[in-house]
Structure 1
Amino acid sequence: MKIALMDSGIGLLAAAAAVRGLRPDADLVLSSAPETMPWGPRTPEDVTERALAVAEAAAAHGPDALIIACNTASVHALPAVRARLEPRIPVIGTVPAIKPAAAGGGPVAIWATPATTGSPYQQALIRDFGGGAQVTEVPCPGLADAVQWADEEGIDRAIEAAAALTPRDVRAVVLGCTHYELVAERIRAAVQQPDADPLVLHSSAGAVAAQALRRIGEDAQAGPGARGRLTVLLGGREDALPKEALAYAEGRDLQALSHAG
């Protein structure tokens, strides 16, 4: 079994780690184009063109399914990627986990890129799945870029700024960009109030990994056994994991498991 994941950069690491956690035997193809980041400020047509190129590079390796592990690409390019690859290769998009966050009760914050915050797309998700919960949209300028390049000071500054815009009474935070999942615990520490119940973070990695397996009729079979191979594509060319990926536990674990296999 082979699962491909695509993103502009290393935001795909969390979903890749989730796939590997469910099926350690699966071969993974990670396709990105970090030299074209960021995608958020680009026009929808530009995002679609770039996403198609990254998706087709992954498709050339014959995966059983492709996960678009990028919120921006899912918003703008999912229909085009599906039209290009399905039914030959099932394509799974990434949607912010607004519905489960709102179902938990209490105020919710959605951390997202400035381009996504306040967008018709996110407003529609809040309207359709917010369930009447109090939802605050929090723009996080610079956070995705800082995560991509493992800029520790930049990450701290961006998280601090977004935390200052987050109401103190929120009970849950939706991570509306896959890059943010790589610094989830740092976000939790910045938002958690000392006198409040534990903050709940909602990410998409686990859900898209499980959906990919469902789409191809496979079950989760975590446990000891064979480890799948890892193929990394940067701009369509086979390469090693970027050094920035190894700044995060998900990247280090993917590399270690692949070497063990």
Structure 2
Amino acid sequence: MRSSELAHMAGVSVRTLRHYHAIGLLPEPERTSSGYRTYEATHLLRLLRIRQLASLGFSLEQIGPMLDELDAERVQGDSLGPGAQDLLDELDQRLEEQISQLEHQRELIRHIRTRHADPDYPERAMRVLDAVNAFERQTHEFGFLLNALTEDDRIAMGIAAHLYTDGELAEIERIFRAIPERGLTDEYLRVSKLMDTLPGNASPAQREHAIGAGMAFLEKIADCMDPGNWLRPDKDYERMLENMTMVHYNDAQIAASDELFLRFTRLLAKRAGG
């Protein structure tokens, strides 16, 4: 039979036949004097076996060795040998992992629907948003954090949601859960207002007052912080995010923010034994 006939009976394309020939999965038949390939029933059977193994989930790289094992066992009259068993075990493990992943994806879709969350953000970021929403409910000012964000802030948060590690996002979640649990909501709002309203021509005393208030607050939630997240060198995207947010600060706010960060990281280093 010709290649088109073989492909039709096996339910594959002629291009697939050529690919199988190229990788050595399907032996090349002899050609006629006019140059056409002439296939036999053995080629059809092997092609059907290839399709069956592929339907089980075997890769093309695995199918060749699997067929060789099965052919050898049939010649000897044996049941499945160690080689074939190993390939089946490997496939079974891979399928089990895929099923687990699919179940996780379905569960995630259910969560997205329940929370009316954005599907283009990671699940771990949803937990942070849940913590922020819970915090805002405690303040009776739901949405005030997100509504106060600039467009650059929103872009920065979106990038952070994708690129921050699980540990870094978990830290943010711990912080926003700890603030209301420890009765620090009012203090957080006062400190935020101090920094947000610090004028560009603020005096050293005004800056120091804001920095001191910030340190007093941060010390109360320092146990929520992982020193490793604060003391390591900044990543490229973190420097970019910082530049995006700082563009909305005046000189006094930038100076106060830098000094607050410096003092707080020193505190974390000291507590970490650094």
More helix by share: 2
Highest RCO, 1 vs 2 (Cα 8 Å, sep ≥ 6)? 1
Structure with higher Rg: it is: 2
Structure 2-normalised TM-score? Answer: 0.23
